[in-house]
């Protein structure tokens, strides 16, 4: 059976529209790659906090996926923020560990992260901060910071029994010479 010219044009247009639609689906899926949070040792309170933070984000923030990863702790998290392969995108660290890496010389220096916010106190009473690597986009960081500082975010963390008290942390980062991520401003 022969198809007429208008049927051919319709078929070509339909195929093109379908391919364009699939292209946008794949493009949006690729741009929504999960972020990885370096939290701490599997037996630590920091790892537990990381898992609760990940769960809160999953429940309340559309379009942002965060996975928690076992690490050796805050010094390891800071080190992993600078790695392209098998690194992390977000990490918990004390200001001491972050400042030490930021101000180090030579190969130990790491300036591949920026400050997001203060998140909780650890068992020794030191404040844990949430740091973001370069892969974290401004809109992702902004959504995470706004959510964690909001009443809704704090309520969710409380409901999950997360021992967290999110706060700006901007003054502490500034005093340490660590710039704030654009999404935290």
Q: Are 136 and 48 contained in the same domain?
A: yes
Residues 89 and 153 in one domain: yes
Question: 82 pLDDT band (50/70/90 cuts)?
Answer: confident
- Condensed to tens digits (0 to 9), the pLDDT of residues 2-26 reads 555 555 544 544 445 444 444 433 3
Residue 50: give its domain's CATH number. Answer: 3.40.190.10
Instruction: Say if residue 104 is in the same domain as residue 26.
Output: no
How many helices and strands in the chain, by DSSP H and E? Answer: 7, 5
Judgement on whether residues 37 and 26 belong to the same structural domain of the protein = no
β-pairing verdict for 127-133 and 113-121? antiparallel
> Is this prediction's pTM over 0.75?
yes
Asked if residue 37 and residue 8 are part of one domain, the reply reads no
Backbone angles phi, psi at 112, to 5 degrees: -100, 30
* Predicted pLDDT of residue 116: 95
Task: Give, in order, the Cα–Cα distances in Å from 73 to each of 53, 90, 118.
Answer: 16, 13, 16
Q: What are phi and psi of 51, to 5 degrees?
A: -65, -40
Q: How many CB atoms lie within 10 A of CB 135?
A: 16
The residue among 58 and 121 whose pLDDT is bigger is 58
Are 51 and 105 found together in one domain?
yes
Give the residue with greater pLDDT, 1 vs 176.
176
83 and 72 belong to one structural domain: yes
DSSP one-letter string for 98-116 = HHHHHH--GGG----EEEE
Same domain, 65 and 44: yes
Query: What pLDDT score was predicted for residue 29?
Result: 38
Residue 85 tokens, joined = 């392969």
Kindly state whether residues 105 and 25 are assigned to the same domain: no
Give residue 123's pLDDT band: very low, low, confident or very high (50, 70, 90).
confident
Average pLDDT of 124-133? 92
| Three-point CA angle 129, 131, 136, nearest 5° | 150
Residue identified by tokens 């901007």 is: 170
Nearest C-alpha neighbor of 112 from the set 142, 85, 89, 130: 89
Q: Rounded to an integer, what distance in angstroms lies between the CA atom of residue 38 and that of residue 69? A: 5
Find the domain containing 7 and state its range.
Answer: 1-31
Q: How many structural domains is the chain composed of?
A: 2
């Amino acid at each position: 059976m022969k198809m007429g010219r208008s049927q051919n044009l319709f078929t070509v247009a339909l195929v093109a529209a379908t391919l364009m639609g699939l292209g946008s689906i794949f493009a949006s899926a690729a741009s929504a790659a999960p972020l990885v949070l370096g939290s701490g040792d599997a037996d630590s309170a920091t790892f537990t906090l990381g898992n609760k933070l990940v769960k809160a984000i999953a429940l309340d923030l559309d379009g942002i996926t965060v996975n928690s990863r076992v690490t050796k702790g805050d010094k390891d998290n800071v080190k992993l923020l600078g790695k392209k392969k098998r690194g992390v995108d977000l990490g918990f660290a004390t200001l001491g560990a972050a400042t030490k890496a930021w101000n180090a010389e030579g190969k130990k220096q790491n300036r591949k992260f920026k400050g997001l916010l203060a998140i909780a106190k650890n068992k020794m009473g030191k404040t844990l901060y949430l740091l973001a690597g370069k892969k974290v986009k401004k809109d992702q960081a902004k959504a995470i910071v706004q959510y964690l500082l909001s009443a809704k975010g704090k309520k969710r963390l409380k409901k999950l029994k997360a021992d967290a008290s999110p706060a700006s942390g901007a003054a502490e980062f500034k005093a340490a010479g660590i710039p704030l991520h654009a999404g935290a401003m």
